[in-house]
């Protein structure tokens, strides 16, 4: 029951709100469709290298290398830790797909 605490609280709060008919509560206004904030300034596509008026600086491309390496290391180490926990709990022989997640993660990181 503890896993459903938040949904239960939301349902109870909505029921209390609707049962108190004479009390005004502000509701969230949701637009009819999905659109960009200001279509006169830009569309859905944001060019990663900037526009002709404001191109992306060359130093920014190389500065993005540092957080990219840190993110790569974080994902790689997290995958290895999960693999060590899994192997420790099973205590069985290694299956054929044990290291497949590491290989797939390496290929994904090479592509990015």
pLDDT single digits (tens) 38-81: 888 878 888 888 888 889 898 998 998 899 889 888 888 887 78
Average pLDDT estimate for 88-98: 67
Distance of CA 29 to the CA centre of its chain: 25
Least confident span in 8-17, 42-51, 88-97: 88-97
Q: How far is CA 82 from CA 56, 76, 87, 99, 101, in A?
A: 38, 10, 9, 11, 11
Give tens-digit pLDDT for 20-44: 878 888 888 888 888 888 888 878 8
Separation CA 112–CA 105 (nearest Å): 11
Greatest extent of the chain over all pairs of C-alpha atoms, in Å: 67
Banded model confidence at residue 2, pLDDT cuts 50, 70, 90: confident
Give me the pLDDT at residue 6, please. Answer: 92
DSSP codes joined into one string, 5-32: HHHHHHHHHHHHHHH-TTS--------S
């Amino acid at each position: 029951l503890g896993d459903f605490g938040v949904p239960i609280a939301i349902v109870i709060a909505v029921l209390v709100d609707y049962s108190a008919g004479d009390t005004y509560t502000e509701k969230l206004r949701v637009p009819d469709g999905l659109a960009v904030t200001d279509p006169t300034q830009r569309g859905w596509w944001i060019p990663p290298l900037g526009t002709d008026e404001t191109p992306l600086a060359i130093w920014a491309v190389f500065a993005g290398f540092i957080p990219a390496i840190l993110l790569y290391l974080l994902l790689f180490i997290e995958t290895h830790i999960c693999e060590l926990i899994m192997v420790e709990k099973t205590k069985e022989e290694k299956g054929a797909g044990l290291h497949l997640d590491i290989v797939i993660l390496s290929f994904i990181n090479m592509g990015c």
